[in-house]
Each structure stands twice: as structure tokens, then as C-alpha cells.
Amino acid sequence: MSADYQRLIAHLRDYKRAAIAFSGGVDSSLLLAAAKDALGDEVLALIGVSPTLPQRELREAQALCDTLKVRYQLVQTAEMDDPHYRANSDRRCYYCKKYLYQAFLQAARNHDYSTVLEGSNRDDLSDYRPGMEALRELGIRSPFVELNIGKEQIRQMARERGLTVWDKPAAACLASRIPYGEPIDAEKLARIERAEDSLHDLGFRQVRARDHGGLVRIEAAPEDLPKLLDPAKREAVVTAMKSAGYLYVSLDLQGYRRGAMNEALPPAENDEPK
């Protein structure tokens, strides 16, 4: 294995035992696999469950835990009960992470784990992420940040480790599809999930269904834009989006880009639009 992976293993061994915040994405998957390699059976995966997590992602996360032979616990989170979270201000991510990791800490303590690790990496620090503040307040550790490891290094290590998710597109909670200031509710989240499930089934891997009330704004990888304009595929997409609950269907000609909803924030909060 690479020098980066050996450095990660050595770092994780210092924890002796650890609970891992696990979403099934490439970052947390590599962290979980490395923790398993470093700590053996002294690892517990914690999977947060709420209306903001697509069921597709939940199933994939559970399957990977089974593949790695890592114990896991499903942890119900209560951010939807908080009016501050539902109001969907630009601090939404802070409230979400606070609820999520408080629940993770309690679940970890119930199993006699004192340390919770999560998979943020060096590149995440360049985007607007108020949730990182909640992690610091709660004492959650971020090994990739501590070791100055970025996304491309993570993908390369995940590939070397044999993880099938090494090239999995970036994902984010369903609430991130709703513009800041528009309230979050279960109906909107379910509508977004239906739309994105349909887009995935139609062959689009890196895609977002941005929810603008009765209008869905589809962001797809730039290389997939021609496919979306093919008459037969376009008709299938329109039909699927209307079945999901949208009245109008639009295509964002910029394509998918990370943190697109942050583009509406003032420059002080969004120095580098993604």
C-alpha cells in the first residue's frame, strides 16, 4: 500500500478503538476500511438515519459494512424537530451536524467508545461548511484533515484498498438541494429523493435535483449534458420528474458543481464558489 495509507494506518492505531461516522461515501468508506485494518474488531460504524438520507445510500452503506465485516449501528437523528434547522438558513449545516454528532457521541458511549472519527478532508476546508464548527465544539476528530490528506489522495487509496466506491460521485444530504431560506419539510425531501432515484436509474451518476418549488433544476456532469438533450432521454427525464412531483423541468447549463447552492451566499461566506 502507499505511503499515505501507511501513514493513515499508523495515525489510527493511536486511537486503540474508535467509532466511525459512516455515510457510505468514498471518504468515510476509506476511513472505515483503514480503521478496520488498523484496529481490527475495535471499530464501530455509526450510520445516521433521517429523511435527509436517501434510502439508496443507506442500503449501500449497510452493504459495505457487511463486506468489510464491521459492526454498525443505525442512529436515528432528530434535526427535523428543530425549527432552526427546518428554517434552512445558511447555518443549516451547523444545526444538522450538531444533532447528528451528538447522537453519534451518545451511541458511541453506549458501546464504550470514547472517540468518534469522521471523514472530512483537506479540500473540504475551501468550501463554506458551518458544520465543521459543530464538529470542533463536540470534539469529533477528522483524521484526513489532521494528516493534510485531500480528495484525490483518498480516491487513490480507496482504489488501492479495493473499495468499489473509490470513484463514487460526491454526495450530500437531500436538504442541500433546497435553496437557503426555503423551509425544509419531509414532503420536499421525499420529492427530491424520488427525482434523483429516477435520474440514477436513467444512467446519470453525478446529478442533483435542485428543488425550486414546482420547478426542478437538474445539474448533471458536463459530459452528460448532451445525453440529457437526446429526444428520447429528455422525454424520459421529463416524465420521471413530473412523476416525482414537479410541474416544470429545467436543465442547468453550467452542469453539476460542488456547493452550487452556496453561490447565492454573500462573498464573505462564499469566497470560492463551487
Q: What is the CATH number of the domain that holds 260?
A: 3.30.70
Kindly state whether residues 82 and 44 are assigned to the same domain.
yes
69-114 pLDDT tens trace: 999 999 999 899 999 999 999 999 999 999 999 999 999 999 999 9
15-59 pLDDT tens trace: 999 999 999 999 999 999 999 999 999 999 999 999 999 999 999
Does the residue 159 lie in any domain?
Answer: yes
Q: Enter the pTM of the model.
A: 0.90
Kindly state whether residues 34 and 158 are assigned to the same domain.
yes
Structural domain range at position 221: 174-264
Tell me the pairing of strands 248-251 and 215-220.
Answer: parallel
Mean pLDDT of 63-71: 98
Cβ neighbour number for residue 173 with a 10 Å cutoff: 20
91 closest CA partner among 138, 48, 132: 132
150-183 pLDDT tens trace: 999 999 999 999 999 999 998 889 999 999 999 9
Could you tell me the CA-to-CA distances from 112 to 92, 149, 170 in Å, in that order? 30, 29, 32
Q: What are phi and psi of 162, to 5 degrees?
A: 85, 20
Beta strand extents in the chain (DSSP E only): 18-21, 43-49, 71-76, 116-117, 207-212, 215-220, 248-251
Kindly state whether residues 9 and 87 are assigned to the same domain.
yes
Cell of 130: 458551518
Q: How does residue 267 score in pLDDT terms, banded at 50, 70 and 90?
A: low
Does the residue 269 lie in any domain?
Answer: no
Kindly state whether residues 106 and 190 are assigned to the same domain.
no
Integer Rg of the chain from CA: 19
Kindly state whether residues 89 and 201 are assigned to the same domain.
no
Kindly state whether residues 180 and 248 are assigned to the same domain.
yes
State residue 125's pLDDT score: 85
Q: Where are the alpha helices (DSSP H) in 14-142?
A: 26-39, 55-68, 83-86, 92-110, 131-138
Q: How does residue 271 score in pLDDT terms, banded at 50, 70 and 90?
A: very low
State residue 273's pLDDT score: 31
**What does the mean pLDDT of the chain come to?**
93
Locus of grid cell 458511549: 109
Kindly state whether residues 149 and 27 are assigned to the same domain.
yes
Kindly state whether residues 152 and 203 are assigned to the same domain.
no
State residue 93's pLDDT score: 93
Kindly state whether residues 142 and 194 are assigned to the same domain.
no
Beta strand extents in 97-236 (DSSP E only): 116-117, 207-212, 215-220
Cell of 165: 466506491
Does the residue 189 lie in any domain?
Answer: yes
Give the rounded distance of the alpha carbon of 38 from its chain centre.
24
Kindly state whether residues 106 and 8 are assigned to the same domain.
yes
